[in-house]
Amino acid sequence: MSLTDVESYIMDSPDSALVVLESMDCNDFKSKRDKAHYSLLYVMALDKNFIDVKDDSLARVAVDYFSRRGPKKYEAQALYYLGLSYYYSRQYDKAIIEFTKAESVAQDSDSLYWGMTKVKQADTYAKNHNNIEKLNCLQKACEIYETLDVKYYQDVTLLYLAETLFNLDREEEAEELLIKLIEDENVNK
């Protein structure tokens, strides 16, 4: 099984991807690109299996390679996971820097990760009690997901946005979002 094969199903079957990646020996990869690709896929699989990776070494290998050689899509993803490693280790200042870099690259290369980055930026701003930036990030993520037509990501982000609005004493706006979600769900049944 190749890394490209794993990449093809990692989003839909991250548990299977993790099993396959753990069965591979990273030392068998001869090229720096393959080692970086493996590192990126491995940290991605861990995250998709809800395993918080606080060590930045995997993402750092991917960032170091893909930021110099591309493609931009992989660079954006690697920066996102580097930001996550800092987020999980509570280094929020470093996390926001990496998420900002990831956002900059993802805008032109990977819209799904652009949206995901905006959500994690929101989480990071929330840790610093910056609710205005949190709100701005969530609104942007909703816009991105709407253009991509990725309903799951959009709905989860809308719920998070409604919660944020409620916590900012903007109950009417929060209620409107929740009603919209319920109406959309009823239409899709």
Q: Write out pLDDT tens, residues 50-96.
A: 999 999 999 999 999 999 999 999 999 999 999 999 999 999 999 99
Measuring CA to CA, how many Å separate 2 from each of 24, 31, 64, 76? 10, 14, 22, 22
The phi, psi pair for 128, rounded to 5°, reads -100, 15
pTM over 0.95? The answer is: no
3-class DSSP state for residue 77? Answer: helix
| Side chain identity at residue 8, one-letter code | S
Contact 47, 78 (CB under 8 A): no
Q: What is the pLDDT of residues 122-140, one digit of tens each?
A: 999 999 899 999 999 999 9
Contact 159, 123 (CB under 8 A): no
pLDDT, residue 81, reads 98
Element (H, E) at 34: helix 32-48
Q: What is the pLDDT of residues 171-182, one digit of tens each?
A: 999 999 999 888
pLDDT-based confidence at 25, cuts 50/70/90? confident
| Measured distance CA(125)–CA(35) in Å, rounded | 33
- State yes or no: pLDDT of 143 exceeds 90: yes
pLDDT-based confidence at 9, cuts 50/70/90? very high
